[in-house]
Amino acid sequence: MTIQSITSLGVDVSKSSVTCHILSQYPLGGLKNYWQKSRNQASKLFPTFYSSPKAKSNQKSAFDFVDYLQENKPSVAIMEPTGNHYSRLWARILESLGIKILWVGHIELRRYRGGKNLPNKSDAADALAMAAYGLDQENYLETGVLNLRQFLMHRPEPIDQLRELVQQLEHLNRVQSPIINYTRQQLAWQFPEKAHSKTESTKPGNVPPLWGWLAQRETEVHPQSYKSITKIYQQSIAVQLGLEIDPVVRLHADWLCDIDLEEQRLEALLKPLVNDDQFQIYNQVFDQFNFGLRIRARLLSRIYPFEAFLTNGKQLIEREIREVKKKEVTREQGKSVVKFLPGDVKRVKRNRSRDAFKLRLGMGTVLEQSGDKLVEKGSGSSLCRMNFWQYVITKIEIDGRLPNNPIGEEIALYKAELKKNVDASGKQLLNGKHLQAKLGSKVANMLFRELSRAIATARS
C-alpha cells in the first residue's frame, strides 16, 4: 500500500455518532491552512452520521454512512480506539464493505494534532488529523510503502475476547460495591454479628454464604455454612430486640448472589483464553510476579504482542548529548510538582521501547502546566494503572505475600530502600499513594525487563 494509491478516511468516533473526512492526498500548504479554508463547510466536508438519528431532524443515519462509503470508496479508514462499544458498529460497517481499518493510539493522535496546530476538542479537526495521518510522508517507509509500525498492531481474536471479559468483570465489581456497602450498613443493626464479616464462595456454582443466607438461597450455599449462620442469627442481639431482616436487604443479597455467579461464569471463560499456548512465554513471566487471573488478562490485552514495542526485534534506545536539568519534585496536596533548574551537559540514554510499554500500561507520566507550576500526572490506561495499584496494596505492602523468588526479593529490597528515605526528624518521606506509585513503576520496569529477556531467549 503506497502513498500514491491511498484514499484515506478519518473517522472520529463519539458516543452515538461518527464525524468523517476523506483525503486522496496530503493537503498542500499544511493542515492548519487546509483547516482554516474548509472548516466553514463542515456539513459537506465533515459529515456526521448518527447511530440513532432524531426523527424530526436532518441527521444522517448509519445507512447514510454506508452510502457515503460506497460513493467515496476509501481504501483505508483511520480510527482511534475510543471504547470497544462505541466504535464497534462503525468498524463492522467498514469491514463489511472491505475497507481496511488502521488504528491510531490516543497519545500518538493527540501529539500529531497538536504538532499540526489543529484545534483541540473538535470532532471535525480530529477526523481531518486522522485522514491526514494516513497520507503523511512521516508515516511511510523510504520505499513509499505505508509503515504499519506507526499504527496499533492488529490484535488476534483471543485478545479482543480477553479485553471484553475483563471489562465485564470490572463493571460487575463496580456495580456490587455500593450494594455491599448499603447492605452492610443495614446489617449493622439487623444482624450486627455478621455485618462486617468476610464472605466468599469457595465452590463453583455456590454463592457467598452470607449473601446466600440473606437471600434464602439455601441450595446454593454449603450446608454447614448455612447452618452456622442460622445459629449465629438465632443468638443475635437483633433477634432478642425484635429487629428483623428488612426485605430490601434480602433483595440486595439476591443481587449479590447473581453477580457472584456471573463473575464465576466469566472467569471460567477467561481462564482458557489466558492459558492459551500463544501466551505461554507471557504466563511464565507473570508466574514470577504471582499475578492473578484478572491482571494477567488485562496485561495481555494491552501489551500483546510484545514485539510491537521493539524495533527490528530490539529495544529502541536513543542516546543524545544535551543539558540535563536538575529536577526537583515536591508533593503539594497529593500531587507531584516538578521544578527544573539549570544543569550540566551530559550524554543521556532514553529507552523508547520501555517508555512506550509503561505508557500503554498506564504507568507513564506526563508534565502538565497548572498555573505557574508543572504537575506530574499519570498517563495511559487508567484501568491498567488500577491493576498495578491493586497488586501493590495486596501483594507488596502486606508482608509475606510477595513470591519467594528473585523477583519478590528485588521488589522487597526496593520497598525497604524507599522506606529508608526520612527527613531530619526521622519521618518517612514517601508515604501513601506516592510510595505506591513508585512501587508500581518499579514492577512495570521489571515486567518489561523480564518479558524482553524471555522473548529474546525464545527466539535464540
Whether 330 shows a pLDDT value over 70: the answer reads yes
Sign of CA dihedral 342, 343, 345, 349: negative
Cell of 196: 462486617
CA distance 397 to 411: 10
Backbone phi, psi, residue 85, to 5°: -75, -40
Residue 76: name the closest of 156, 158, 151 by CA: 151
- Amino acid letter, residue 27: P
Percent of the chain residues past pLDDT 70, beyond the cut: 91
Sign of CA dihedral 161, 163, 168, 169: positive
What digits encode the pLDDT tens for the residues 252-297? 999 999 999 999 999 999 999 999 998 999 999 999 999 999 999 9
In whole angstroms, how far apart are CA 180 and each of 174, 197, 219, 252, 301? 11, 12, 22, 8, 29
What digits encode the pLDDT tens for the residues 290-317? 999 999 999 998 898 898 888 778 888 8
Per-residue confidence at 369, pLDDT binned at 50, 70, 90?
A: low
What digits encode the pLDDT tens for the residues 205-243? 999 999 999 999 999 999 999 999 999 999 999 999 999
- How much of the chain is in helix, strand and coil states, percent to nearest 5? 55, 20, 25
**Predicted pLDDT at 148:** 81
Cell of 309: 514495542
The answer to whether 51 and 17 are in contact (CB under 8 A) is yes
